[in-house]
Structures are given as structure tokens and as C-alpha cells.
Amino acid sequence: MPENFLNLLLHPLSVVVMSYLLGSLSFAVIVSKFMGLSDPRSYGSKNPGATNVLRSGNKKAAVLTLLFDALKGWAPVFCVLQYGGAYGLTEAAAAGAGLAAFLGHLYPIFFKFEGGKGVATALGVLMGVSPILGLAIALTWVGVAWFFKYSSLAALLAALLAPVYYAMAADLFWWNFNGAIFGMLCVMGVLLVWRHQENVNRLLAGTESKLGAKKTN
């Protein structure tokens, strides 16, 4: 591979663009189509995400959607942090890549900029930053979802706690606190809350559907 092309490919801006394009792959739609299921944008909450795919009754499709949506958030962050240093890519580039992948899921160029809410992709980004951080957030989501039975509430609390966990864990574990990573987590948290605004309204009104319930409107 010519050196000039490699340098262009590994430029921080190129990494951000490629991360956005990866994030734009809406696996809820792709997996559903591959498995012969209805487009998740046509039923339930109409959100192309794992939770809505689960409403189709096909657990395998929901699990695959969750895994692939998380993977597209994890891959760019992990690769930049693990291998990017040799090519001049810093933690700021990793933060940009993670945020770009997340924005790609929310506003996918391949699907008319109509994407999901980003919970699984955000979790993947967190796992890319640190498996410990990702696991802590995943356990928070599971605990809240199990106790209250609301996926949206679990996602909201996990989103708000992610930067808090990161800041606290920086003092407890081996990584150094990085302002760019912290800023990325804060921006993702705000966007996650904003994307769940309808869920917030339904939670306050007591009309939010619980996990396992089939939603028809």
C-alpha cells in the first residue's frame, strides 16, 4: 500500500469519516431483511434497534442486532486506542471515531438519516474505551431494566452515569483521565437523553411500555 495513501487513510479526519460510515450501517434493518422479517421501522416504536426488533418475537434477530450495533461502536475506538499510536492517532482521534460511529447510528447516511437511539452502539464505544467501563454500564442497564422493567429508563440512567463512572474509575484503575474521551461520553449522554425524549414523556405519564410488552402504536 503506497505510503501517501496509508497516511491519508489514517489521518484523524479519515478515521472519523470511516467510523461514521460504519456507524451508518443499520443492523436492525439489515438483520431483519436477511432473516425475512418485517422492517423494524414499520412496527412497534418504529425505532431501528434491538429492543424494537425483539418485539417481532425473534430473539435471535434481536441478539444479532444488539451485537452488530455494539461492534460498530467498539471497533473504531478499540483499533485507534490499541494500534493508532504508531500512526500518530491519539485519544482525541479515538473519541472522534467513537462519537462519529454513534452519530452514524443516529443519523445513518445509508438510511435517509433516520436511525436508532444509539444505546447498543454507545455501549460498544464504552467497551472500546475500557471493558471495565462498558461492563459497569451494562450491569447498570441490566439492574435498572430488571428492577423497573423499562428499557428506556435503564438506557437513560446508564447514559447519564457513563461519564461519572469514567471520571471515578480513572482514579481507581490503570487508565489516565482524558478530556476528549470524557467530553465524548458527555455528548453521547446528552444525545441519548434527547433521543429518548418521547420515552421520558411516556415515563412521566405512566404510559411507557415495559420490556416484553408488544407495542402497537
Number of domains present in the structure of the chain:
1
The average pLDDT across 142-164 equals 93
Quote the pLDDT of residue 216.
Answer: 46
**Residue 1 pLDDT > 60:** no
Quote the pLDDT of residue 81.
Answer: 95
Quote the pLDDT of residue 210.
Answer: 82
Does residue 84 lie in a domain region?
yes
The average pLDDT across 195-202 equals 93
Binning pLDDT at 50, 70 and 90, where does residue 11 land? confident
Quote the pLDDT of residue 45.
Answer: 81
Does residue 53 lie in a domain region?
yes
> How does pLDDT run across 98-130, given as a tens digit for each residue?
999 999 999 999 999 999 999 999 999 999 999
Does residue 39 lie in a domain region?
yes
Length of the chain: 217
Does residue 213 lie in a domain region?
no
Quote the pLDDT of residue 61.
Answer: 96
Across the chain, what does the average pLDDT equal?
91
Domain that holds residue 85: 3-205
- CA dihedral (207, 211, 214, 217) positive or negative: positive
Does residue 215 lie in a domain region?
no
**Residue 215 pLDDT > 50:** no
**Residue 8 pLDDT > 70:** yes
Q: Which of 15, 20, 77 is nearest to 6 (CA)?
A: 15
- Spell out the SS3 assignment of the chain: CCHHHHHHHCCHHHHHHHHHHHHCCCHHHHHHHHCCCCCHHHCCCCCCCHHHHHCCCCHHHHHHHHHHHHHHHHHHHHHHHHHHHHHCCCHHHHHHHHHHHHHHHHCCHHHCCCCCCCHHHHHHHHHHHCHHHHHHHHHHHHHHHHHHCCHHHHHHHHHHHHHHHHHHHCCCCCCCCCHHHHHHHHHHHHHHHHHCHHHHHHHHHCCCCCCCCCCCC
Does residue 216 lie in a domain region?
no
> How does pLDDT run across 28-53, given as a tens digit for each residue?
999 999 999 999 999 988 889 998 99
The structure's pTM equals 0.91
Does residue 199 lie in a domain region?
yes
**Residue 214 pLDDT > 80:** no
